[in-house]
Amino acid sequence: MSKTEEMSRAGGDVSPVAEVKTAVAGFISDFKGFQSDIQQRLQKQEEKMTMMERKSAGFQRPVLSASADAEAPHQKAFDAYLRSGDDDGLRGLELEGKAMSTAVAGDGGYLVDPQTAETIKSTLSATASIRAIANVVQVEATSFDVLIDHSELGHGWATETGATTETSTSAIDRITIPLHELSALPKASQRLLDDSAFDIENWLAGRIADKFARAEAGAFISGDGVDKPTGFLTYATQPAGSEAWGELGHVTSGADGDFDPVNPADAIVDLVYALAAEYRANATFVMNSKTAGAVRKLKDADGRFLWADGLAAAEPARLMGYPVLIAEDMPDIATWAPAIAFGDFSAGYTVAERPDLRVLRDPFSAKPHVLFYATKRVGGDVSDFAAIKLLKFAAS
C-alpha cells in the first residue's frame, strides 16, 4: 500500500506536490521497465543477425578449399568403390580433364584419389630409406634413361698465333632403369567397411604406404634387379681408387668383422676421404641401428666423439659433420660385410616411378574380408658409381 493511500485512509489531506512526486516516480519506474525491455529485444535481434552472418560466411568458402571441392567428386566415388564395389561413380568421371575410366580399366583397378595418393607419397618420402636421399624422378614410360659423363673433358691452352691443340672427347654411359610393379594387399572386413565412421581412405593409405616403404627400402639396398629395383650393394667392389665403371670403391676397417683395435676411428676418416671432393659436400652415411650403436662410441685422437646427435627432433645425427641415415636393411658388422656406405646418393642413386597408383577391390578371394590390390611401378639403380663408397669390415 502506497503512502498516499495510507494518508487517505487516515483521513489526512494530500498536498499537490506529493501527488506530483508520486506520479513522477511511477513514470520513471515504468520508463525503466520499458527501457529494459527494448534493450533485451535489441540484444536478441543482434544475436539473430550474428547467426545469419555466420551462416552466410559458411557459404563463402576460402580459396584454398576450391581444390578440395574439385577433388571431392572423385574422392566420394572412390570411397563408394572401396566400401561397396560400386564403380558407377568412377566410370566416366573426369578429373582435371582426364576420364578415369579410360585411364584405367575396371579389371585393372582404379586410380587412387589425389588426396590419398599424396598421403602415400609423403609417407614414402618421410621413411628412412634410400629414397629419402636419392634422386627421385617421375616418368610416364616403362623405363628411365640416365646419361652419365664419367670422364673429364680434354682441355688445352692456346696462344694468340699458335695452333690450337685438339682436345679429347668425353665418354658417355647410358644407364637404363626399368620400372617394376610393386604391390600391396591389405584387407578389411566388410562389416568394418560398412561402418560410416571408419575412415577408409586414411586406413588404406597408411597400410599401402607401410607395405611399399618396407619393400622399397630393401630393394634399393640389396635388390637383385629381377622384377625389383637394383640395390647398390649388389655391385662388385674394388679397393677405392682402383675401381672401374660399374664397380663401387671400398675401404677396409683394419680388422675382420670389427674396427681396428688400436685406431678404430681411422676407418671412418679413410671412408670420408675416399670419396671425391665434389661428392663430399652433399654426402650422407648409411648404416643400420646396430652398426650405429658401435660407431657412436668411436673417438678421435683428442678423445672427442665422432658422432653427434641432432639438435632437433627431425634433424639427423651427424658423423664427422655428415648426416647419418639409419636404414635397417643395411647389413650388420661382420667379416667383409659392407655395413657402412658413404656418398652423395642424390647423384649416385636414382629412383624412377610412375605417379599413378591403382587399387583393385577383390571381395571374393578372402571372404568375409575384402582385399585391396594396390599397385605402382617403381625402379631404382646406381646412376653414378663414383658417388658412393663402402666400408667393409676386413683386415685388408
As a whole number of angstroms, the distance between CA 209 and CA 211 comes to 6
- Domain hosting residue 338, numbered range: 234-349+383-392
Q: What is the mean pLDDT of the chain?
A: 78
User: Do 354 and 181 contact (CB within 8 A), yes or no?
Assistant: no
**pLDDT tens per residue, range 353-392:** 988 788 877 888 878 888 888 888 999 999 999 999 999 9
What was the pLDDT predicted at 21? Answer: 73
Q: Name residue 266's amino acid.
A: D
Residue 239 has pLDDT above 50, yes or no: yes
Going from the C-alpha of 390 to that of each of 221, 238, 275, 285, the distances in angstroms are 12, 10, 10, 10
Q: Prior bond to 368 cis, omega within 30?
A: yes
In a domain, 311, yes or no: yes
User: Which of 79-88, 194-203, 248-257, 359-368 has the largest mean confidence?
Assistant: 248-257
What was the pLDDT predicted at 305? Answer: 92
In a domain, 334, yes or no: yes
Q: Judging by beta carbons within 10 Å of its beta carbon (0-12, 13-18, 19+), is residue 353 exposed, middle or buried?
A: buried
Q: What is the mean pLDDT of residues 306-320?
A: 85
What was the pLDDT predicted at 22? Answer: 77
Question: How many domains are contained in the chain?
Answer: 1
In a domain, 281, yes or no: yes
What was the pLDDT predicted at 322? Answer: 96
**pLDDT tens per residue, range 136-156:** 999 988 899 988 775 665 566
pLDDT grade for 58, boundaries at 50, 70 and 90: very low
Give the residue, 191 or 222, on which the prediction is more confident.
Answer: 222
Give ∠ CA 93-97-99 in degrees, rounded to 5: 35
pLDDT grade for 39, boundaries at 50, 70 and 90: confident
In a domain, 147, yes or no: no
**pLDDT tens per residue, range 94-123:** 443 343 333 444 455 556 556 666 666 666
**pLDDT tens per residue, range 252-288:** 999 999 999 999 999 999 999 999 999 999 999 999 9
pTM: 0.68
* Residue 201, all three cell numbers: 581412405
Q: What is the mean pLDDT of residues 305-314?
A: 82
As a whole number of angstroms, the distance between CA 172 and CA 174 comes to 7
Q: Judging by beta carbons within 10 Å of its beta carbon (0-12, 13-18, 19+), is residue 340 exposed, middle or buried?
A: buried
In a domain, 319, yes or no: yes
Give the residue, 69 or 251, on which the prediction is more confident.
Answer: 251
What was the pLDDT predicted at 242? Answer: 95
In a domain, 299, yes or no: yes
pLDDT grade for 60, boundaries at 50, 70 and 90: very low
Give the residue, 137 or 92, on which the prediction is more confident.
Answer: 137
In a domain, 79, yes or no: no
User: Which of 21-35, 71-85, 193-207 has the largest mean confidence?
Assistant: 193-207
Lowest-pLDDT range of 41-50, 100-109, 119-128, 170-179: 100-109
User: Do 174 and 144 contact (CB within 8 A), yes or no?
Assistant: no
Give percent above pLDDT 90 in the chain: 39
In a domain, 93, yes or no: no
- Residue 380, C-beta contacts closer than 8 angstroms, at least 6 positions apart: 130, 134, 177, 216, 219, 220, 223, 229, 230, 231, 349, 350, 351, 352
Q: What is the mean pLDDT of residues 217-233?
A: 94
Q: What is the mean pLDDT of residues 50-71?
A: 48
What was the pLDDT predicted at 240? Answer: 96
Q: What is the CATH number of the domain that holds 257?
A: 3.30.2320
